[in-house]
Amino acid sequence: MKSKFLLLGAAACIMGMTSCKNEAEENAKRTVDTYAAYVDSVSNVAVADAKANWDAINERSEQQLVEAKAALAALKDKTAAEEKVMAAEAKYTEWKSEVEAAVAADSDPKAALRNALFGEGKVGADMKFDWVNKDNIHATYQNFIHTVENNKDKYTREDWDEIKVLYEALDTRKNVVEKEGLSSEDNMKIAGLKVKFAPMLKVNRVGEKTQENADAKK
């Protein structure tokens, strides 16, 4: 009889452990699903609306990400859940960069111009172009110069001053990239773009400055 009770007790313990384990797995799955659902929801919020409450949104997302990654440890088969967390994190990071670029633009009026010329968040107030390399420098010059050309009638004198500083910073980066394997073909293409851009920059800067002085005398 004693053996029977021991067996029943052992069976109950095993069932209890299995139940707890299953419950832990279900909780872990829910935590992962909650994070993925949150990212799907928040990434649909308009950037303009997200800016107003950005610190709280980002703090909540970071906390849910920590919880989701911690929950993975409770899963026997983590593959699907890990992929879901990674996909959600990547989606959030992309949206986050857009919001932070917009927040930066509000605090730094020149950020909007930099974003238009080089892409969201690529160049900050520090004017660093470390992301420019031998593989993308030609496209970077091309996009920069074509964007300026297409919008030249919209720029103020301050904009042209900023464009000049950005152009010189990009040229400085080019000097580094030339030593890192920039192809002769791309170098020649960039030279052609620079020949086209230099007079446009000079004429428009002088023109805006002249207009500004004329307006000041009125």
Task: Delimit the domains of the chain by residue range.
Answer: 2-107, 112-217
Low-confidence ranges of the chain (pLDDT < 70): 1-21, 207-218
Chain centroid to CA 50: how far? 15
- pLDDT the model gives residue 48: 86
Please give the radius of gyration of the chain, using alpha carbons only, rounded to the nearest integer. Answer: 28
Q: Is the whole model's pTM more than 0.75, yes or no?
A: no
- pLDDT the model gives residue 6: 45
Surface-to-core class of residue 112, CB atoms within 10 Å of its CB (0-12 exposed, 13-18 middle, 19+ buried)? middle
Angstrom CA distances, 147 to 80, 88, 130, 215, stand at 43, 33, 21, 27
Under a CB-based contact definition with an 8 Å cutoff, are residues 113 and 165 in contact? Answer: no
DSSP state of 73: G
Query: Tens of pLDDT along 110-159?
Result: 888 998 999 987 898 889 999 999 999 999 999 999 999 999 999 999 99
